[in-house]
Structure 1
Amino acid sequence: MTPKAVLDIIDTARCREARSGAFWRQLQLRAKALPTCISFNSQAPASCLFQFSVEYIETAPRLIHAVDTCAREAGHEGLFTPFLDAATRFFTNPSVLLSHYIGLDGLLISAYLCHRLMEDMYENNHSFRRSQLVDLEATRANLLVHELIGEPFANELDDAVAITVRQIAGSPNYYDLDLDPFVARANNAAWDSMRQYWENLLVRNHIRFTLGNRRRR
């Protein structure tokens, strides 16, 4: 499976949502129950959350493609393939726990798993941690989706991601791997374009998140 297959799955879900409006109605309810650390520069918070969620979902295959491209150019394709395969399977072969999520709500969960997997991958290697490839805004976006999914389920998803990372990079040696060649490739124009799109996700959708007031456990 490829990012193209993920995009096709997303297109199908968007068509289903256009007919049902089910995800939109969910977000109308969620907008009223968000913590005070999340606010909107808009009189239509549900609209902001809906567009944010769609873009967050669509960013996942962009991220998969960007990481794959940089890994191949840096000569580390084999090292990153397990992460990319796992991220893709969140969409193409989701857990049975997500079987009753058939629309954009399910894809938001899949995208959250994908983005959190990449976030944890970065956190578990010193080359990435000092590179600042993952901006604070990306963390805020993940925290917002954590709120939209809701606890305790979102916490269970975080635990599942942590288990996946340990399975892929279980050796302590992973932290000390020199991945500077990947970091160098990740600072090219293509990655920068993807990163700017990702990092401006909240601002573009008129959402403010005060990180100090709410954190994942």
Structure 2
Amino acid sequence: MDIQALRERVDLAAQQEQQAASLGRWLEQRLPSLHPSIAAKDSPRHSLLHFIDGYIRQVPDMLEAAQRVAEQAEMRSQLRPVLKVAEAFFLQPPDLPADHSGMLALLDEAYLAHRLIEEVNDRYAAHGGGSLLPLDTTRANLIAHHLLGEPFANELDGLVMRAVDGLLPESLFTSQPFADHCAAQQAEGAGNLWAQWPCLSRQLGLDIQLPGMTA
């Protein structure tokens, strides 16, 4: 996995944004329809620009950390296909709206990568295996979903679901590798590998409270 290429793509888009400010203009149009449950510590525009920048930059950091976890926890066979698809979403994205370029295009791609990890985690947890990558991105992904808006965000979710269906067929969860993964989850200290990763949305200065969500 080419982590450096991921970071260079983000840096280039950030430089373009400094010159064109297209993300800022797009965000100004989105602010009036922003869900009132999204709570910002500073001015909404400043907080959301900071959130988007951090949400995007988290993707290479997350994938780099996941590579290390795969090695330390002997989970290469489980993690490698997931990470390769997440990387492809970022470096070779599907067709996106023509007016989405620079950091806005990367927001689309970061959403795909973060949602992929979230959905894989949910599938593993639903079958008793715990989270494959225990990252708390649920709130951050909800905020990104609201920013991107519907039906576009739902279309991206559909791409994620189809990718996960290919990565995680039901036969996986009755296989010996999955049983080995479940056993490894019980090993003392296995969860400490991800202790450095707090709730992403709060780390980036935003939160969201919807019915049924607890703090």
Q: Check conservation: 1:124, 1:174, Cα contact below 8 A.
A: no
Distance 1:188 1:109, change over 3 A: same
Residue-pair matches, total = 205
Q: Which has the higher contact order (CA 8 A, sep 6+)?
A: 1
Q: What is the alpha-carbon distance in structure 1 between the residues aligned to residue 174 and residue 155 of structure 2?
A: 24
The answer as to 2:129 corresponding to 1:127 is yes
Equivalences for 1:135-146 in 2 at 5 Å?
135=136, 138-146=137-145
Q: CA deviation at 1:68?
A: 1.5
Q: Check conservation: 2:90, 2:109, Cα contact below 8 A.
A: yes
Q: What is the alpha-carbon distance in structure 1 between the residues aligned to residue 80 and residue 13 of structure 2?
A: 26
Q: CA deviation at 1:145?
A: 0.1
Equivalences for 1:44-83 in 2 at 5 Å?
44-83=43-82
> 1:110 corresponds to which residue?
109
User: Percent identical across equivalent pairs?
Assistant: 29
Q: What is the alpha-carbon distance in structure 2 between the residues aligned to residue 84 and residue 46 of structure 1?
A: 32
Q: What is the alpha-carbon distance in structure 1 between the residues aligned to residue 212 and residue 119 of structure 2?
A: 22
Q: Secondary structure at the match of 2:159?
A: helix
Q: CA deviation at 1:62?
A: 1.2
Q: What is the alpha-carbon distance in structure 1 between the residues aligned to residue 130 and residue 29 of structure 2?
A: 38
| One-letter amino acid of the counterpart of residue 3, structure 2 | P
Question: How high is the TM-score relative to the length of structure 1?
Answer: 0.84
Q: What is the alpha-carbon distance in structure 2 between the residues aligned to residue 95 and residue 204 of structure 1?
A: 27
Q: Secondary structure at the match of 1:106?
A: helix
Q: Check conservation: 2:16, 2:102, Cα contact below 8 A.
A: yes
Task: Provide Cα deviations, 1:136-167, integer angstroms capped at 9, x if missing partner.
Answer: xx211100000111100101111110110010
The answer as to 2:191 corresponding to 1:192 is no
Q: CA deviation at 1:97?
A: 3.0
Q: Secondary structure at the match of 1:97?
A: coil
Q: Secondary structure at the match of 1:95?
A: coil
| One-letter amino acid of the counterpart of residue 78, structure 2 | L
Q: CA deviation at 1:183?
A: 7.8
> 1:28 corresponds to which residue?
28
> 1:6 corresponds to which residue?
6
Q: Secondary structure at the match of 1:124?
A: helix
Q: Secondary structure at the match of 1:39?
A: strand
Q: What is the alpha-carbon distance in structure 1 between the residues aligned to residue 141 and residue 152 of structure 2?
A: 14
Q: What is the alpha-carbon distance in structure 1 between the residues aligned to residue 167 and residue 200 of structure 2?
A: 30
The answer as to 2:44 corresponding to 1:41 is no
Q: Check conservation: 1:56, 1:111, Cα contact below 8 A.
A: yes
> 1:202 corresponds to which residue?
202
Question: How high is the TM-score relative to the length of structure 2?
Answer: 0.85
Equivalences for 1:140-179 in 2 at 5 Å?
140-174=139-173, 177-178=178-179, 179=181
Q: Check conservation: 1:31, 1:49, Cα contact below 8 A.
A: no
